[in-house]
Amino acid sequence: MTALIEEINRRRTFGIISHPDAGKTTLTEKLLLFGGAIQEAGAVKNNKIKKAATSDFMEIERQRGISVSTSVLAFEYQRVKINILDTPGHKDFAEDTYRTLTAVDSVILVIDVAKGVEEQTEKLVKVCRMRKIPIIVFINKMDREGKEAFDLMDELEQKLKLRITPLSFPIGMGYEFKGIYNLWEKNINLFTGDKKKEINNTIKIFSLDDTKLNKLIGNNSNKKLKEEIELVHGIYEEFDEELFLEGNLQPVFFGSALYNFGIKELLDCFIEIAPSPLPKTTDRRLVKPDEDKFSGFVFKIHANMDPKHRDRLAFVKIVSGIFKRNTPYLHVRHNKKIKFSSPNTFFAEKKRIVDFSYPGDIVGLHDNGNFKIGDTLTEGEKINYKGIPSFSPEHFRYINNADPMKGKQLQKGIDQLMDEGVAQLFTLELNGRKIIGTVGVLQYEVIQYRLEHEYGAKCTYENLNIYKAVWINIKNSNNEELKEFLRLKQRFLAKDKNGKLIFLADSKFSLKIAKEKFKSITFELSSEF
């Protein structure tokens, strides 16, 4: 086996997704704790302890206690190299999450035991199902009162249309939570219940008929557990790895991320069943990870990871071959070769320089404005990776400069934040006014905060009544019809950051009329055409 294939086989790159407050960031922390990557977990919600979660490194995230940006973390566990992409759960930052899903090979979906399946969960799972991404479900917060295990599993099947099979099962919940029966390894871990943040010592029992079990969990709990496990075997199918990898079967685990319970079961099973890096489609062909030549794509850009140094990093998912430091690679869109002297791997905001990276790895490249989201890097082949769209925003506001002395800083800040994909910038054709379009209103607050704290610029907003921004695809349009459209709609025309023409429809009705009247023009809701 070649060194490349060996490295590919020992890599797992996955995203953690959930509705806000399901415990996603806490789970990320505990996976790092079990992987030995950190010694002590940050108390995510506790303001008295001035430690933020390792993965929430932006100042605004520390203040609000929510994740607004995907962070990348890497660690080793049992000789497996694990790359975690911890995504924002809040719907206002969903676009960052959707783009991140193009860079993962599998996902862990976190569900809150009390709330069950929530609206944002449904949207995220829909995207995963569309892309056939293997999903592992982790039902969190078993130390709290919540819905019964079978009710939750019914919900997963009915609301998310998942075909599930439990690989661990809880013994009670809330005050009655006594532990986890591990169906994958056929053993029992009992919850010691002490409120420590370190890894609990667990008791292992290898049979449901073990006489010690009655003493440890009580006769009633033991009887109930036997009945429930019998029911699980009767209702749910056996785990089938092939079905899971095809995205057609979803294993379910139970636990409490806060108290480190059920995490080891999840992690041990994950490294066994989760896929190593997968092939990816380009506009020309399918690229396989074990190909000799390097290729990768930018799925995220982050400005000012270290505000003192004003650095800007492009996050590249390596798809094939070996990425080598100080080697010139082709930037396909610019058709020019660039070499990188200090590529980084990540541990949240901690970075270290790497000489070699392999398929599945995420590399941070220092960028002075060369990259935008979706860019492809290769050893010379002119291909472009597909499936990294910009979506039509749902909210629109004019952006105004609140400090005339800081015009340049504002312009630079807007340019860099838009490159990150935080929001989209449109410039009106008629008068050059700048409009910012976002998926959620909270993004306006983030932009304002970051402009002030990272660029020293201040802005104000002005509401704008726009229904949808649609990209105008004029490839096969009738010339006369196009001229007429441009004349009639000049007040509603803008250019996006890449110079593509945009129609800002002020109502559902005006968009419908435009589509009917100008049949040779195509109106697109995403810019990937």
Distance CA 144, CA 155 (A): 19
Burial class (CB in 10 A: 0-12, 13-18, 19+), 46: exposed
* Predicted local distance difference test score (pLDDT) of residue 223: 87
432 pLDDT more than 50: yes
Same domain, 502 and 407: yes
CA distance 32 to 38: 6
How large is the average pLDDT for residues 504-510?
Answer: 92
Residue 271, SS3 per DSSP: helix
- Start-end of H helices in 187-255: 211-217, 219-235, 241-245
Asked if residue 71 lies in contact with residue 361, where contact means CB atoms within 8 angstroms, the answer is no
99 belongs to a structural domain: no
Q: Say if residue 305 is in the same domain as residue 157.
A: no
Task: Say whether both 412 and 498 belong to one domain.
Answer: yes
- Co-location of 144 and 198 in the same domain: yes
Residue with more model confidence, 107 or 40: 107
Report yes or no on 385 lying in a domain: no
Q: Count of domains in the chain? A: 3
511 and 485 assigned to the same domain: yes
pLDDT tens-place string over residues 73-95: 888 888 999 998 877 644 545 56
Rounded CA separation 326/276 (Å) = 27
If asked whether residues 350 and 446 sit together in one domain, one would say no
In a domain, 413, yes or no: yes
Residue 395: in which H helix or E strand, if any?
A: strand 395-401
Whole-angstrom distance, CA of residue 56 vs CA of residue 44: 9
Range of the domain at 111: 3-85+105-273
- Whether 420 and 299 have beta carbons less than 8 Å apart is answered as no
- 148 and 225, same structural domain? yes
Q: Is the pLDDT of residue 173 over 60?
A: yes
Sign of CA dihedral 138, 142, 146, 150: positive
Are 342 and 486 in the same domain?
A: no
Strands (E), 407-455: 424-428, 434-438
Q: What CATH code is carried by the domain that includes residue 308?
A: 2.40.30.10
β-pair partners for 363: 316
Place of tokens 């080697």: 327
pLDDT at position 208 is 76
Where a domain ends, among 378, 413, 438? 378
463 neighbors 432 (Cβ within 8 angstroms): no
pLDDT band at 176 (very low <50, low <70, confident <90, very high): confident
Amino acid identity of residue 194, one-letter, is: D
pLDDT at 323 over 80: yes
Cα 406 to Cα 293, 412, 455: the distances in Å are 45, 10, 9
Task: Report the predicted TM-score, pTM, of the whole model to 2 decimal places.
Answer: 0.78
Calculate ∠ Cα 350-352-355, nearest 5°: 160
C-alpha distances in angstroms, 262 versus 38, 181, 199?
18, 9, 11
Q: Does residue 58 sit within a domain?
A: yes
pLDDT one-digit tens code per residue, 112-154: 999 999 887 887 888 888 888 999 999 999 999 999 999 999 9
Q: What is the CATH number of the domain that holds 235?
A: 3.40.50.300
Listing DSSP states for 95-118 in one string gives HHHHHHTTS-SEEEEEEETTTBS-
Single-letter residue type at 61:
E
